Amino acid sequence: MNARVEDPSLWNNTDEAGRVMRERGRLSEQIDGVKRLERDVEDALGLIELAEAEGDADTANAATADLERLAAEAKKREIESLLSGEADANDAFLEVNSGSGGTEAQDWAEMLMRMYSRWAEQHGYKVVLTEESAGEQAGLKSATIQISGPNAYGWLKTESGVHRLVRISPFDSAARRHTSFASVYVYPVVDDKIEIEVNPADLKTDTFRASGAGGQHVNKTESGVRFTHIPTGIVVASTQDRSQHRNRAIAMGMLKARLYELELSKREAVNAATEAGKTDIGWGHQIRSYVLQPYQMVKDLRTGVEKGNPAAVLDGELDDFLAASLASRVGATRSEASAKAQ
């Protein structure tokens, strides 16, 4: 990669040069991260040895805590090294839709959107709101964000599915316990180098006024654009920009990304993410339960991972869930490949 960057002819094609620079940066970060881990582990072990020789328990305990932190980081990088899918390194679109249940479900959809936004921000990813349809009283009917950063799609791709919330409803004057559902759908942002053909005859196009806050221009002009891909039933929309022309381009990019993800699923024979986005948003289809009452628990129904602090999870602490589902998915893929080989 360094040699390619130093080749003057590369810069005749700015798109290719940008791709090479991004790939070099990604590889450099991975290599530097492993080298730093090695140095930090060596330093911590040396500090423990010195502290034990001098009978300094506090220093030894601090160095041991550093080792535990480094072990967790190494585990994360080990999982990250498994993100070798065709689109794993890409940015991601993350779409949330409320299930039946009116305001209660719409509030839950907004909580999920906040959870993923917080997770992304904590990991240094950039978050841009692409489309939002506000609920009548509170929350969201639907919303889509673009999460940009290394391996964004790879980390989030197993989050597609139905998420279930159990709590005392803040909208119920009788303070009864309610169960709410919302669906999450994750698909990769398509790189410029990936060619996706969309037949204009297969598209139904609608324009509409953006709802909610956004200034007089947003509310008075039909700047929002919605595409319906008739053969697949895929629907995408953008209200991100004040310009209808720009929203049309954004929505087309989202549609191509959805079609690409669909093709990836067929090619890889891994249809779980696609099917999760199509199932009923209700009982029997959930991948994770978030229980706030009568006890405190978040449980992933696919991997069995549990957390007793739902507030922290809803504030973006998702790494354990993501790592377990990724490891499970990679393991299943490898087992399938081994069985085919045999």
Same domain for 120 and 75 = no
For residue 208, give its domain range.
Answer: 92-336
Same domain for 327 and 257 = yes
Same domain for 123 and 35 = no
Same domain for 288 and 148 = yes
With a cut of 70, say whether residue 219 has pLDDT above it: no
CB 250 within 8 A of CB 227: no
For residues 199 and 205, give the distance between their C-alpha atoms in angstroms, rounded to a whole number: 13
Closest CA to 110 of 341, 314, 317, 308: 314
Question: Is 234 inside any structural domain?
Answer: yes
Mean pLDDT for 202-218 is 67
Same domain for 69 and 133 = no
pLDDT, one tens digit per residue, over 236-284 is 998 888 888 888 888 888 888 888 888 777 765 544 444 444 445 555 5
Residues contacting residue 211 through CB under 8 Å, at least 6 positions apart:
132, 133, 134
Residues contacting residue 224 through CB under 8 Å, at least 6 positions apart:
131, 207, 208, 209, 210, 237, 238, 239, 244, 247
Mean pLDDT for 200-218 is 69
Same domain for 310 and 162 = yes
For residues 58 and 62, give the distance between their C-alpha atoms in angstroms, rounded to a whole number: 6
Q: What is the CATH number of the domain that holds 271?
A: 3.30.70.1660
For residues 7 and 22, give the distance between their C-alpha atoms in angstroms, rounded to a whole number: 16
pLDDT, one tens digit per residue, over 37-69 is 999 999 999 999 999 999 999 999 999 999 999
Same domain for 135 and 59 = no
Question: Is 85 inside any structural domain?
Answer: no
Question: Is 341 inside any structural domain?
Answer: no
Does pTM top 0.85 for this prediction?
no
In the listed set 34, 53, 80, which residue is the last one of a domain according to the structure? 80
pLDDT band of 145, cuts 50, 70, 90: very high
Task: Give the amino acid at 205.
Answer: T
In the listed set 80, 100, 128, which residue is the last one of a domain according to the structure? 80
Task: Give the amino acid at 227.
Answer: F
Domain tally, the chain: 2
CB 326 within 8 A of CB 82: yes
For residues 168 and 186, give the distance between their C-alpha atoms in angstroms, rounded to a whole number: 29
Same domain for 52 and 116 = no
With a cut of 70, say whether residue 217 has pLDDT above it: no
Higher pLDDT among residues 288 and 247, named by residue: 288
With a cut of 70, say whether residue 214 has pLDDT above it: no
